[in-house]
Amino acid sequence: MEEAQTFNGIDRLEGSDDWGVYKTLLESTKAIPWKINWQTKQFDYIGPQIETLLGWPRDSWLGAMDWIERIHLEDREKTANFCISQSEQGVDHEADYRALKADGSYVWIRDVVHVIRDGNGVTTDLVGFMFDISARKQMEQDVVELNRKLEAWSHQDGLTGIANRRLFDQTMAAEWARGKRSQEPLSLLMFDVDHFKGYNDHYGHVKGDECLVRLTREVSQMPLRSTDLFARYGGEEFALVLPQTPGDAALQIAEKCREVVAALKIPHAVSPVGVITISAGVCTMIPGEEGTYTTLIERADDKLYRAKRNGRNCICSC
């Protein structure tokens, strides 16, 4: 009867012929059974598996406060308040939280709670099981991380690693809407590689890809702001979205891009200047009620082709 003295809330079960069977079943599972007297908030019983999972001695689980104090601080208030309110209302419930182990680490627990009430509907006891759900939580975290990576990859150009056309369009739409609210200028720089078809024909497409990768790497290392977006618009054409940027500043950035690319001195036998160069178009607008962000793209693109008609390796702006 020592077990009954320690966990007197199950003394009626322990006195029955079936208690040994019940006890064996309860203590042979990985789930941790427990019982709390709701009036005293004291544990009547907790399975010995608790020591294997959390490391705390079984006899250290005296009352509800021992349970609460061993919940991760970030989960504690929310979990405790939820379980207390559900118990007082007589509602069965589940709670997931991080439980403190004796070695100072944490393990994810799911508590499945059944509320026992008397004839008047008043809560008298709680019985339940604790489950180790660390593996499941890790799997959920892995799925979240994978989805984050997939989302990032869906916005990334496969060759150069910079933003792709999809992210460019989304960013332009968002910055246009922001500019309409703030009435601040939105600048767009578009450039492409001069005589790139001739480069591919002469050196081959593998070398052409290597050229684009090297070019974008250098431009990406320029001191741009976190709000700026460098994207591959298509083929050998690139775009730089410059929110809250006046025209003169955008023109300076375009010139810097041109200089950075020319400084690479990538040989280009088909080009009149003998190295890879770019032509750029720059346009700045204050978004208004008329027009859309595509208007800004069209104008910047028009300036780009004017730069190419003017002899290439130069910049035209609105």
Residue 23 burial (CB count, 10 A): 17
Q: Residue 149: what pLDDT? A: 83
Question: Of 21-30, 45-54, 69-78, which gets the smallest average pLDDT?
Answer: 21-30
pLDDT in tens, 203-237: 999 999 999 999 999 999 999 999 999 999 999 99
| 48 against 153, higher pLDDT | 48
Q: Residue 5: what pLDDT? A: 35
Is residue 7 very low, low, confident or very high in pLDDT (cuts 50, 70, 90)?
very low
Q: Residue 26: what pLDDT? A: 59
H helix count then E strand count, the chain: 12, 10
The yes-or-no verdict on residue 25 having pLDDT over 70 is: no
The yes-or-no verdict on residue 136 having pLDDT over 60 is: yes
For the whole model, what pTM was predicted? 0.61
Tell me if 95 sits within 8 A of 86, measured CB to CB: no
Is residue 27 very low, low, confident or very high in pLDDT (cuts 50, 70, 90)?
low
Q: Residue 4: what pLDDT? A: 36
Separation CA 185–CA 181 (nearest Å)? 11
Tell me if 9 sits within 8 A of 45, measured CB to CB: yes
Tell me if 243 sits within 8 A of 227, measured CB to CB: yes
Question: Of 8-22, 119-133, 161-175, 237-251, which gets the smallest average pLDDT?
Answer: 8-22
Question: Of 148-162, 227-241, 272-286, which gets the smallest average pLDDT?
Answer: 148-162
Separation CA 89–CA 292 (nearest Å)? 56
Tell me if 20 sits within 8 A of 26, measured CB to CB: no
Q: Residue 19: what pLDDT? A: 54
The yes-or-no verdict on residue 293 having pLDDT over 60 is: yes
Q: Average pLDDT of the chain?
A: 90
Average pLDDT over every residue of 89-113: 96
Average pLDDT over every residue of 90-103: 96
Phi, psi of 278 (to 5 degrees): -130, 155
